[in-house]
Amino acid sequence: MKKDKKLNLRFGTITALILLAAFSRIVPHMPNFSPLGAMGLLGVTHFQRKWQSFLIVVAAVWLSDLFINNVIYAKYYSTFTWFYSVFYWIYATYLLIVLAGIVILKKITVMRIIAASLAATTIFFLVTNFICWPGSSPYSHDFSGMMICYAAGIPFLKETFSGDLSYSGILFGGVALAQRQWPALKMKYE
């Protein structure tokens, strides 16, 4: 198989998996149990160019957000919603997860995938609770209020980590099985 066709096949397959994972958000699930961290980690390890990880993951999240905000939660918005109020913080979180994946997943092993999933959970927890703290009236705008806000987020950590770990297992395991069946999906260093 020609190199260009091999690259296009791998790129298309990984992109399709990331889009499919993003749209799995519309299936009923536990709060915070989502594929978003795993999508960034998968992209980092399987796209030839790392910038594709950033672009494809953010595009997939945005497309699924468009559907969720304008179809599922349409009654909560007065007009078509392209972006929600704190999207830039949330999307920045996914970009940080991709950066963590670049550092942690230089080699794909089960332990590194678990470590990267834990890093994704930690990044999501730290950033999202930090942005919740100043914008939420129940929390005082001092260090104590910030710590109370983080403490309030702790019950969601289990579901977030379960989602990151489960989806990482599904996505990375699925790619590994597909690569056994279709060697053209392998990158040159795998």
Q: What is the pTM of this model?
A: 0.86
| pLDDT of the residue at 175 | 93
pLDDT surpasses 90 at 9: no
Tell me the pLDDT of the chain averaged across its residues: 89
Give the domain extent around 100. Answer: 3-184
For residue 126, pLDDT beyond 70: yes
Q: Quote the CA–CA distance of 119 and 125 in Å, as a whole number.
A: 10
Residue 29, CA distances (Å) to 12, 118, 162, 163 in order = 27, 20, 12, 10
The CA distances from residue 186 to 93, 101, 149, 157, 180, in Å, are 28, 19, 44, 33, 9
pLDDT of 13 above 70: yes
Q: What is the pLDDT of residue 190?
A: 44
Contact 179, 186 (CB under 8 A): yes
Average pLDDT over residues 175-183: 89
Structure tokens of 148? 């109370």
Distance of CA 147 to the CA centre of its chain: 25
Output DSSP code: residue 64.
H
In a domain, 189, yes or no: no
Q: Residue 189: what pLDDT? A: 46
Nearest CA to 116 among 24, 23, 43?
A: 43
State yes or no: pLDDT of 123 exceeds 90: yes
In a domain, 45, yes or no: yes
Q: How far apart are CA 176 and CA 98, in angstroms?
A: 20
Residue 143 included in any domain: yes
- Which residue bears the tokens 């910038």? 51
Residue 80: inside a domain: yes
Domain count, the chain: 1
Most confident of the following: 49-58, 131-140, 179-188: 49-58
- Measured in whole angstroms, the distance separating CA 59 from the mean position of its chain's CA atoms is 11
What number of H helices and E strands is found in the chain?
6, 0
Q: Taking residues 156-168, what's their average pLDDT?
A: 95
What is the arithmetic mean of pLDDT over 89-97?
93
Question: Does residue 190 sit within a domain?
Answer: no
CA atoms within 13 A on the CB side of 57: 29
